[in-house]
Structure 1
Amino acid sequence: MEAATMRYTTPALDIYDNVWDSIRHWVEAAPDLPAIDQEGTVWSYGRLGEAVRTLTDFLTAHDVAAGDRVLFVMENSAGAIAGMLAAMRLGAWAIPLNARLSVREIDEIRKHAGPRVTLYTTAVSKEAQAHAERHGAREAPSLKEAGLLYAPADGTVHRMPSFGPARDRVAALIYTSGTTGNPKGVMLTHGNLLFIAGRSSHARLTTPADKVYAVLPISHVFGLASVFLGNMYRGAQLKLVSRFVPAEAARSLAEDGITTFHGVPAMFSHLIGLAASSGQPVKAPKLRYMSVGGAPLDLALKQRVEAMFGLPLNNGYGLTESSPTVCMTMIGKERDDDSVGTLLDGVEVRMVDPASGLDVATGGVGEMWVKGGLVMKGYFRDPARTAEVLTPDRWLKTGDLARMEADGSLYIVGRLKELIIRSGFNVYPSEVEGVIVSHPDVSMAVVVGRSRDGNEEVVAFVQPIPGRNVTAEALDEFVSERLAPYKHPSQYLIRDTLPATPTGKILRHQLQQEAVGL
């Protein structure tokens, strides 16, 4: 019987203690229900359950237990999903890493995390294959169907103690680059991920009849909590895609019965561009719900997307440390402005004046502080940075400037920090600057963001060492070997000197204005 004509019991909110339990509900209640479609190969929930059990046995045989870390060098794949669920089932911490990160980035995070086992999605990613070969990864019969290779720990592994309620134990460790460029691991609990999975799927009215175009990387918190877990929480099927290709996305929307599409603004911008170049709108006859996140949404892009698809483009806001979704526009209450919607149930916010530390009046701009079951446990092995963003009574300081109107609608105004969000990924200027300055001919570098077509570009201002010459081409080659592609500057502006105050502090705001004007 087709999923659309069958009746299922919708799982209630906050009833599970382990992420795996929310998926096991469908494995046991509807094993024949389609769960994952990857390149035409469909796994039912029953088959997914079998894969999880197989990978659980593999991890157990390699001494993985609660409190251990399991690292995934990955692109979207059914094997990665099964492996992460197996790790969480055991109480281990799943660590998803984008395989397109550089050698330096992967190895620094691997050293910091101390995984007992690393798994590589070699069947779908040549980058994962390259990292696997470099780490001496091996084959195993029980990993073949999942398309994975594995490497055991390359040093002493310290198992983290597991205590307290099961929902409060860490399920996933999501790495972002810190403002110093050092790895920063966000500890998200089972309760954090289930809080978002349940509420986001409830708000989207997800059912087993939905088929979701799942192209957002599961190595990113948006793809993990909102797309993967959020949709499977209510029995939806994932059309799993490892990389976004506009023409292929358009074909799938037109032909594959896609009902739900989650993306970052740049993806929607590419689809608009595809339609403009072909002279034909992208068709999506079954599409009922679209959402965007991961980066600021330009109102003009929102209007063009809605005009083409004839549907509201639902906006939202969140950050890795909040698992991620704080607020979203709701079905039936869509907006024609750039609001990021209203709070999810169970979420509290404050708007705090950064200077005084006092709450601002309704409609006033302040730093958004967030509280609720979505707030991370902290940063792994970094109590100092945890204390900087988490108050003793568990308010999370987001670093984002926002306002809330009397009707509860939220608007993001800007960022206290100079974070750049490119294609949904965080780019920290200090990390890119550090790599550029490590070039032997560079004295100083300043990296800023520039909005273009619903996305943000990375722009680098570079001051060479006096008497030396450096070209944009040489810098691009140098950076390409050391940073993931989404962190690469799109433009290098080489200057004899960079503007500075008498004390030598670079006038970043002046350079930001120059970049915007180019």
Structure 2
Amino acid sequence: MTTIDVEALISALPRRLSDIPSYWAGRTPDAVALSENGRQISYRRLNEAVDEAVVLLVDLGVRPGDRLMIVAENCMAQLVLVFAAARMDTWAVNVNARLSLSEIDAIGKHCGARRVVYTHGSSAEAYAHAQRGGASKVSLGDIGDIAIGPINPACEPEPVDAEGSKQVAVLLYTTGTTGQPKGVMLTHRNLLFIAAVSGHVRGLINTDRAYGVLPITHVFGLASVALGTLYAGASLYLAARYSPAALIASVRNDSLTILQGVPAMYARLLEHDRAGWDPSTSALRFIYAGGSPLDATLKDNVERLFKLPLHNGYGMTESSPTISQTRVDAPRRDTSVGSVIPGVDIRIVDVTGVDLAAGEAGELWVRGPNVMKGYYRDPELTAATINPDGWLNTGDIARCSPDGALFIVGRTKELIIRSGFNVYPVEVESALNSHPAVVQSAVVGRFLPGGNEEVVAFVELDPAHHHIGPADLMAYLEPILAAYKRPAQIIVMDAMPAAATGKILKGELKQLAQRLHDAPESSI
């Protein structure tokens, strides 16, 4: 992999996301841009569809600086609307159609959207939300059907930055089970920087074919997968929902070369009946896991299946998302999240903000072109997260190895303090996941009277190991973990609560663990 001249890369970035389809429409107009359920459109057609969507949105009264809320699951229409909003200097508010009505209403109220658009032609959930929202059907021709909600006359447009690259392109709301919505403002420059750099780190070229199942309503699916693929002029094969069978079919039939997912996606694939399927004979050249911690056992099992290195990385919504990534030409055998991407700086500090010595674990701070503009309508939270010098406090605990590899130890808020000892959930999860019966696990802290905490583990078990229970897992952990790190309780779940990305919702599990302690008769 060649080195990156970061200054040259940044100066060469286009001003808006919508410049991506127009660029490739002029250079490789007939190349496949998007594929969905067997339908394909070229870069020429994608660019034309964006222009047509702009005309439609203007006719609907959408203005520069307005928020356009797009309730969707992965489809062509969703990306066309994101690019159209970008071309108009309108903010795209990407919302997953699988959210509940109350969650969608809360986001709509917080962002004050001028219009809500539903991709009801490709999502049953979007269709249901459109029906409740009094939306009217509109056809985008070969792109698909959408539904348009009523205009919000109270919407006030935000100021439009004269330099398009600094304009907010997308407003993404982070996953949460309680409290007010938290909208992350990402600019065109934020997202285009990540699209360009992450594509370079992956060695993307315009003949690549990438699987697009990670939700575009999430920053990983939007910036790293969708925009990164299209920025390189490659082809994106969209899938609204993940299933192992559909993935296998696409690897076979579409000659995929790039596969990006979350660890839970690979865990499900390993569970699936794969009779007759040998991914090592496919066209795949690069596989990647991100979005949540990757444990060594899963990594080893996936690499044995694919006969390829499983690359790893780390990021967060507020950093658009990528902060670090393993390199194509230097795969790692451990679970490091790789080296920091070019153009981004990090610090590892103690609780007072003082830099720690190399190798010590501390809070990770990040600065670079990927750092968000801030939280929408929350200057206090923005100031508490990004200091005056531009350093973003990730809230994660990390350490660097002597060779510059970054390791994520845990989240500051997830740290469990048990009898004065620090317990990092990821360490306990890795130990549990190394048991052949465990598909995935999640570890949380539970508060006890007197201010102490105890460790509680939730696990999903492989049905083939039906004879394994919590007592067996407890015995398995005894020689692996120190006594203070071992769970006080292990709870078997049929399925973990998860976001649309596959990320386990630990907030819900923490609440459940507390309820089971406070009211033992509660059921799961």
Structure 2 length-normalised TM: 0.79
- Distance, in Å, in 1 between the alignment partners of 2:38 and 2:326 is 33
- Distance, in Å, in 1 between the alignment partners of 2:457 and 2:177 is 15
Whether 1:359 aligns to 2:379 is no
Q: Secondary structure at the match of 1:315?
A: strand
Identity score, percent: 43
- Distance, in Å, in 2 between the alignment partners of 1:31 and 1:373 is 30
Structure 2 counterpart of 1:442? none
For 1:341, which of 333, 338, 341 is the aligned residue?
A: 338
Structure 2 counterpart of 1:22? 20
Task: Supply the AA of the counterpart residue of 1:296.
Answer: P
Structure 2 counterpart of 1:288? 285
Structure 1 counterpart of 2:5? none
- Distance, in Å, in 1 between the alignment partners of 2:304 and 2:399 is 28
Structure 1 counterpart of 2:487? none
Shift of 1:207: 1.1
Structure 2 counterpart of 1:472? none
Shift of 1:283: 5.3
Contact kept in structure 2, 1:55 and 1:82, CA below 8 Å: yes
Shift of 1:269: 0.9
Task: Supply the AA of the counterpart residue of 2:213.
Answer: V
Contact kept in structure 1, 2:92 and 2:169, CA below 8 Å: yes
Structure 1 counterpart of 2:294? 297
- Distance, in Å, in 2 between the alignment partners of 1:152 and 1:203 is 43
Contact kept in structure 2, 1:94 and 1:172, CA below 8 Å: yes
Shift of 1:361: 0.6
Task: Supply the AA of the counterpart residue of 2:325.
Answer: M
Task: Supply the AA of the counterpart residue of 1:328.
Answer: Q
Render the CA deviation track for 1:324-362: whole Å, top value 9, x for unaligned. Answer: 0001001111100010001111000000102x3201011
Structure 1 counterpart of 2:104? 106
Task: Supply the AA of the counterpart residue of 2:69.
Answer: L
Shift of 1:253: 1.1
Whether 1:215 aligns to 2:213 is yes
Render the CA deviation track for 1:221-247: whole Å, top value 9, x for unaligned. Answer: 000000000010010101110000111
Contact kept in structure 2, 1:351 and 1:367, CA below 8 Å: yes
- Distance, in Å, in 2 between the alignment partners of 1:246 and 1:74 is 22
The alignment covers a number of residue pairs equal to 444
- Distance, in Å, in 2 between the alignment partners of 1:411 and 1:496 is 33
Task: Supply the AA of the counterpart residue of 2:341.
Answer: L
Structure 1 counterpart of 2:371? 375
Shift of 1:22: 2.4
Task: Supply the AA of the counterpart residue of 2:402.
Answer: A
Distance 1:493 1:13, change over 3 A: closer
Structure 1 counterpart of 2:263? 265
Task: Supply the AA of the counterpart residue of 1:349.
Answer: I
Q: Secondary structure at the match of 1:19?
A: coil
Q: Secondary structure at the match of 1:223?
A: helix
Task: Supply the AA of the counterpart residue of 1:297.
Answer: L
Distance 1:453 1:187, change over 3 A: farther
Shift of 1:212: 0.6
Structure 2 counterpart of 1:405? 401
Q: How does 1:59-138 map to 2 (within 5 A)?
A: 59-138=57-136
For 1:418, which of 397, 414, 430 is the aligned residue?
A: 414
Structure 2, unpaired ranges of 5+:
1-7, 416-424, 430-441, 446-453, 463-493
Shift of 1:494: 8.2
Contact kept in structure 1, 2:74 and 2:215, CA below 8 Å: yes
Whether 1:498 aligns to 2:494 is no
For 1:50, which of 28, 31, 48 is the aligned residue?
A: 48
Structure 1 length-normalised TM: 0.79
Shift of 1:99: 0.2
Task: Supply the AA of the counterpart residue of 2:88.
Answer: L
Q: How does 1:232-271 map to 2 (within 5 A)?
A: 232-271=230-269
Shift of 1:281: 4.5
Distance 1:451 1:279, change over 3 A: farther
Shift of 1:118: 1.1
Provide the alpha-carbon RMSD of the alignment.
3.2
For 1:204, which of 192, 202, 205 is the aligned residue?
A: 202
Task: Supply the AA of the counterpart residue of 2:518.
Answer: L
Distance 1:197 1:451, change over 3 A: farther
Contact kept in structure 2, 1:73 and 1:98, CA below 8 Å: yes
Distance 1:144 1:234, change over 3 A: closer
Further displaced range: 388-397 or 161-170: 161-170
- Distance, in Å, in 1 between the alignment partners of 2:315 and 2:18 is 23
Shift of 1:279: 7.8
- Distance, in Å, in 2 between the alignment partners of 1:496 and 1:402 is 31
For 1:314, which of 297, 306, 311 is the aligned residue?
A: 311
Q: How does 1:163-242 map to 2 (within 5 A)?
A: 163-177=161-175, 181-242=179-240
Task: Supply the AA of the counterpart residue of 1:28.
Answer: G
- Distance, in Å, in 1 between the alignment partners of 2:139 and 2:239 is 25
Q: Secondary structure at the match of 1:217?
A: coil
Render the CA deviation track for 1:307-334: whole Å, top value 9, x for unaligned. Answer: 1111111100000000000010011111
Structure 1 counterpart of 2:320? 323
Q: Secondary structure at the match of 1:129?
A: helix
Distance 1:348 1:144, change over 3 A: same
Structure 1 counterpart of 2:385? 389
- Distance, in Å, in 2 between the alignment partners of 1:497 and 1:25 is 58
Contact kept in structure 2, 1:266 and 1:453, CA below 8 Å: no
Contact kept in structure 2, 1:163 and 1:169, CA below 8 Å: yes
Contact kept in structure 2, 1:34 and 1:44, CA below 8 Å: yes
Distance 1:414 1:141, change over 3 A: closer
